[in-house]
Amino acid sequence: MIFKRLIKLVNREFQKFLAARRWYLKSLPIQMDAGKKKEFIKKGFFPSSSLFFDFETYGFDQYLSDRDYKKLYPLNHPSISALIDNKGYLPLLFQSHPQWLPDFSAYFKNEELIFSRGLDNTPLKASEFYKKATEKYGKLIVKPTSDGGGRSIFSVNADTPEQKIAEIFSREVILSNCMENESFLKDIYPNTLNTTRVVFFKSSSRKNTILMIGQRFGTSASKEVDNISSGGIGYSINIKSGTLFKPYSFQIPSHSTQFDQHPDTGAQLRGYQFPDWKSKLEEIQKIVDYLDFVDYAGLDLAFTTNGIKIVEINSHPESIFTQLNSPALQNKEFKKFLIKKGYKPTQW
């Protein structure tokens, strides 16, 4: 028995070792000269990062490489990372600021209701709870508590088959009401909630500082979500002006202007100006300041018809979107933060 456990342990650690050594396999499949591809991997970058990073202008040293960023996990205390990555804890983290939360949310684990808000006289049985929630809010969004990339997110309503509902409640899930974007985002793409990514870090003055802001849009390919890995489109935002600056998609562009407009609606994306950006940025900063116990995170927000709402928090958001506008290491404060966290650039 002990020998079998030892074998399993060794095998598990070996698989972790292989995953670490083969980090580059997560690169998008692109056509590239084999020698060039090896050069990117040697320097710690996915070959596909060449589609998004301006190595010609900035070189390699100014960018935080994909390999080094992976090694830095976690950039928060492990307990903080676990706390903010679990979507079920979001209502508890922001209970003093309910205006930033969806009107309704519920955290279920193996048919047991752990927490809920937005439903009076909450029934304890999952089936009763579900019926009451759909009567009040109509369509609901279901998502796992910790999975990322938009995977396993879908909508349900009063007509959803009972068998599917039973399967949902047998897992660890979050239910929330459907939210609707403000018209300026809904007019660009109306079929998903288009969310805003905010990456921030703790500066040397101990103030949470915004590193980047980006906007995501759903597409017909991404179905009910706007996640880039599921087929959505991302755009970096110029923080000073509030304009959409540079596109990001897992679909390899066939020409440089392919994503200047939304592929389904034709709405202009590149250069689009967010209305009343100054007040929006101030509201974002208030949320970032509130999270003073977090050293680093990617915050997903939604500008809705009912104000700005927090969708989720990621303790280690992917780095390509973060560096779309400019290399992360050009930000001296962020570089100081990384060094304090143990950052040592991999020597080529």
Listed residue (199, 203, 241, 237) closest to 217, CA to CA: 237
Which of 134, 157, 177 lies at the terminal end of a domain, its last residue? 177
Is the domain of 193 the same as that of 307?
yes
Strands (E), the chain: 105-109, 112-117, 140-144, 154-156, 172-177, 196-202, 208-217, 233-237, 244-248, 296-304, 307-314
Which of 149, 177, 205 lies at the terminal end of a domain, its last residue? 177
In a domain, residue 128? The reply is yes
What confidence score (pLDDT) does residue 14 get?
45
The amino acid occupying position 23 is W
What confidence score (pLDDT) does residue 148 get?
66
Give the CATH number, domain containing residue 259. 3.30.470.20
What confidence score (pLDDT) does residue 17 get?
47
In a domain, residue 67? The reply is no
Is the domain of 135 the same as that of 246?
no
Is the domain of 323 the same as that of 211?
yes
Is the domain of 312 the same as that of 210?
yes
Cβ-based burial of 228 (10 A; exposed 0-12, middle 13-18, buried ≥19): buried
Is the domain of 320 the same as that of 188?
yes
> Alpha helix (H) ranges present in 46-114?
55-58, 66-71, 78-85, 90-93
Is the domain of 148 the same as that of 134?
yes
What confidence score (pLDDT) does residue 16 get?
46
What confidence score (pLDDT) does residue 74 get?
96
Q: How many other C-beta atoms can be found within 10 angstroms of the C-beta atom of residue 13?
A: 10
Q: Are 126 and 102 in contact (CB under 8 A)?
A: no
Is the domain of 212 the same as that of 258?
yes
> Alpha helix (H) ranges present in 89-125?
90-93
Is the domain of 187 the same as that of 294?
yes
Structure tokens at 100: 């930033």
In a domain, residue 37? The reply is no
Q: Are 75 and 341 in contact (CB under 8 A)?
A: yes
In a domain, residue 66? The reply is no
Give the CATH number, domain containing residue 125. 3.30.1490
What confidence score (pLDDT) does residue 37 get?
92
Q: Are 60 and 67 in contact (CB under 8 A)?
A: no
Which of 129, 150, 177 lies at the terminal end of a domain, its last residue? 177
Is the domain of 237 the same as that of 158?
no
Q: Are 202 and 337 in contact (CB under 8 A)?
A: yes
The tally of domains found in the chain comes to 2
pLDDT in tens, the chain (348 residues): 666 665 665 555 544 444 455 778 777 778 888 999 999 999 999 999 998 999 999 999 999 999 999 999 999 999 999 999 999 999 999 999 999 999 999 999 988 999 899 998 777 788 899 999 999 999 999 999 987 666 689 999 999 998 999 999 899 999 999 999 999 999 999 999 999 999 999 999 999 999 999 999 999 999 999 999 889 999 999 999 999 999 999 887 766 688 999 999 999 999 999 999 999 999 999 999 999 999 999 999 999 999 999 999 999 999 999 999 999 999 999 999 999 999 998 765
Domain that holds residue 115: 103-177
In a domain, residue 151? The reply is yes
Structure tokens at 288: 């970032």
Is the domain of 216 the same as that of 331?
yes
In a domain, residue 219? The reply is yes
Is the domain of 293 the same as that of 326?
yes
What confidence score (pLDDT) does residue 229 get?
87
pTM (2 decimals)? 0.91
Is the domain of 201 the same as that of 234?
yes
In a domain, residue 278? The reply is yes
In a domain, residue 30? The reply is no
Q: Are 70 and 343 in contact (CB under 8 A)?
A: no
What confidence score (pLDDT) does residue 250 get?
87
What confidence score (pLDDT) does residue 124 get?
72
